[in-house]
Amino acid sequence: MVLRPGFFLLFNLLGVLAWPTQFPERTTPSELLDPYPHKPRITFKDDGTLKITVFSDLHFGENPWDVWGPQQDSNSTRVMKRVLKDENPDYAVLNGDLITGENTFRENATRLIDEIVAPLNAARVPFSSAHGNHDNQVNITHAEEIAREQQVAPLSYTRFSAPGVGGEGGAGNYWVPIYKRKSDNAPYLIIWFFDSRGGVTPQNKPAADWVDASVADWIESETKLMDEVWGPGEQRSALAFVHIPPHVMQPVQKTITPEKNPGLNADVLGTGSAQSTSSTSPPAQDTPFWDSANKNIKNIVAFISGHDHGNEWCAREPTKDFVFCFDKHSGYGGYGDSSWGYGVRNIVFHAPGNGKGKPKVESWIRLEEGQTRAHVWLDHTLGH
Ligand SMILES: *[C@@H]1O[C@H](CO)[C@@H](O)[C@H](O)[C@H]1NC(C)=O
Ligand SMILES: *[C@@H]1O[C@H](CO)[C@@H](O)[C@H](O)[C@H]1NC(C)=O
Ligand SMILES: *[C@@H]1O[C@H](CO)[C@@H](O)[C@H](O)[C@H]1NC(C)=O
């Protein structure tokens, strides 16, 4: 339950002093839709724009017993500092595989979160995280990373999945409201974060590598509540982050071209590259999530994934007609090739001048040194 000073005062004025037992048992719908009562509202800038910068696959903590592992981490910190200074984003996203959990120690694994969030804390940039298969390992879990992040990053908007939602290892399904102006009654954009799990359980058993079916029902009930309180979903935009790409993207890779889908395309999507495709997974287990997201969330500008470090392209998935983009590998850790470079994906929303209607959204890759490439508009022109 959310406790607000104003509410408490009102109760006192009414002479209801037996706090807290006199509070209503259930939170109201508008309270359920105000998940950050004690944090600043995230808003567009006065000029009607919002810039989101996505760091992906940072892979901190590799081989701490060698020289190169810690060097990689300090290189990744350098990338983050430089990019945050140059880009000055309104919001940042860490899109999974923050940590290479295979190399961590039970007693200090979450200390890596402190290192990862330090540049974001210093730059005072609000942000939140999705989690990846390397964040679920014997000595680390998504839930442990989230708890630590909440503890050490005052501007973290990362939340835990609602009770019963997300399945084993899927602790991070949530959304973040973004408002056009601070005083608006309803958000203009909802950023959704879905937990595609993967990796191994703390008992060293393979973990399911797809968004759990329980998330499908949760999406339906959350969007229903949003429609009731804020008005029809068509009035809002949405953007979605999920670390492992949905399995439906696998065949799409065969249809892309460098002209229509600019950006590095160096990772062929094979076993384990997309959700529910690893050797231990039955196929297409992400379908309930996928169907529910596409049906219930209106105006999804794009689904954004990392995981496949050699891919940067955006493409349109034809059967459900949505836009999908890969991130840019940001960390010096994790597999890769130095010729691929390290960087971020930027996403910029432009709200229309009259304050009504859908935003125009552009996106591109920015490399560590400042070079940019693969610019696209995330709209009907993409892939045509
Ligand atoms: C760290 O970055 C420097 C400069 O780009 C590079 O020469 C070096 O190989 C990187 N170190 C590691 C361990 O990745
Ligand atoms: C987990 O941490 C323990 C305690 O530090 C360590 O002995 C063990 O090797 C780690 N296990 C794995 C799989 O990383
Ligand atoms: C965790 O402990 C190990 C073993 O003492 C050490 O090598 C490593 O650097 C520590 N990691 C962090 C993030 O503190």
28: pLDDT confidence band, cut at 50, 70 and 90?
confident
Pocket-testing residue among 103, 104, 105, ligand 2, by greatest number of atoms within 8 A of Cβ: 105
Least confident of 20-24, 79-83, 230-234, 268-272: 20-24
- The minimum-distance atom of ligand 3 relative to the CA of 111 is 13
Average pLDDT over residues 316-322: 94
Look-up of token digits 């050797």: 279
pLDDT of 1: 38
Q: What is the pLDDT of residues 347-375, one digit of tens each?
A: 999 999 876 789 999 999 999 999 999 99
91: domain CATH number is: 3.60.21.10
150 is a domain residue:
yes
- Cα→Cα distances 262→80, 133, 206, 273, 306, Å: 24, 27, 35, 20, 16
How far apart are alpha carbons 41 and 188 in whole angstroms? Answer: 12
Q: What is the pLDDT of residues 128-186, one digit of tens each?
A: 999 999 999 999 999 999 999 999 999 999 999 999 999 999 999 999 999 999 999 99
Residue 335 in contact with ligand 2 by CB distance below 6 A: no
Q: What is the pLDDT of residues 85-108, one digit of tens each?
A: 999 999 999 999 999 999 999 999
Gap from CA of 60 to ligand 1 centroid (Å): 14
**pLDDT at 25 > cutoff 70:** no
How far apart are alpha carbons 321 and 327 in whole angstroms? Answer: 20
Ligand lying closest to the C-alpha of residue 140: 2
**pLDDT at 311 > cutoff 70:** yes
Task: Using DSSP, state whether 222 is helix, strand or coil.
Answer: helix
Containing structural domain, residue 43 = 5-377
Q: Mean pLDDT for the chain?
A: 93
365 is a domain residue:
yes
- The minimum-distance atom of ligand 3 relative to the CA of 109 is 13
384 is a domain residue:
no
Measuring from atom 6 of ligand 2, which residue has the nearest CA? 105
382 is a domain residue:
no
pLDDT of 26: 62
Higher-scoring residue by pLDDT: 210, 1: 210
pTM of the model: 0.93
Q: How many domains does the chain have?
A: 1
Pocket-testing residue among 68, 75, 79, ligand 1, by greatest number of atoms within 8 A of Cβ: 75
Q: What is the pLDDT of residues 340-349, one digit of tens each?
A: 999 999 999 9
Q: Which of 238, 298, 300, 307 is nearest to 270 (CA)?
A: 307
316: pLDDT confidence band, cut at 50, 70 and 90?
very high
Percent of the chain surpassing pLDDT 70: 93
269 is a domain residue:
yes
Gap from CA of 253 to ligand 3 centroid (Å): 40
383 is a domain residue:
no
Residue 75 in contact with ligand 1 by CB distance below 6 A: yes
Q: What is the pLDDT of residues 248-278, one digit of tens each?
A: 999 999 999 999 999 999 999 999 999 999 9
Residue 71 in contact with ligand 1 by CB distance below 6 A: yes
Pocket-testing residue among 71, 78, 335, 338, ligand 1, by greatest number of atoms within 8 A of Cβ: 71
How far apart are alpha carbons 67 and 357 in whole angstroms? Answer: 53
pLDDT of 357: 86
Measuring from atom 7 of ligand 1, which residue has the nearest CA? 75
68-87 and 111-123 helices, crossing angle to 10°? 20
